[in-house]
Amino acid sequence: MFFSSCNNEAAKTEAKEVAAFSLDSAKAAIAASNKIFGETFATGDSTAFANCYTSDACINVTGMPRMCGTGPLTAFFNGGYQMGIRNIKLTTEEVMGGKEAMVETGNYEMFMANNVSVEKGKYIVVWKEENGKWKMHRDIWNSDSPAPPPPPAKK
């Protein structure tokens, strides 16, 4: 009898947690964060950029070592801003997951001043809730542009 009441209580608690999670609310939070993320380049706001990520987030940039934590992510943002990036438009294709983590796939387009498009590609982001907000936890992207050709062989 005791075991069955414990199992019933555990099932009720789990059902409440699942009911409290809303995929639609998580998708809306992700969309709002993506908008802020892209717009941070217009103002050079590295703090707002870093706040889109968890405190222990990691980004995986093509041709660079993995970068983790607020300091390296802020430095990465500052480098992009200094290169002239002024907006990144993220277009979500799919969001799936649950209370523990969400996975988003989509496409991006990067812009310089005067809304000049300089790169298009795709991304995958793992989102995690931190302090009650959905934030990017793991981020990887790559360009749709072909890789540059290798240098000519030396003779």
The full set of domains in the chain, from first to last, is 23-143 (3.10.450.50)
pLDDT tens-digit profile of 90-100? Answer: 999 999 999 99
Task: Identify the DSSP state of 115.
Answer: G
Q: Whole-prediction pTM value?
A: 0.81
Using an 8 Å Cβ cutoff, are 143 and 121 in contact? Answer: yes
21: three-class secondary structure by DSSP: coil
End-to-end CA distance of the chain: 83
Tell me which residue has tokens 């075991």: 3
6: three-class secondary structure by DSSP: helix
**Cβ contacts of 143 within 8 Å, gap of 6 or more:** 62, 119, 120, 121
Task: Identify the DSSP state of 132.
Answer: T
Name the band, by pLDDT with cuts 50, 70 and 90, for residue 7. Answer: low
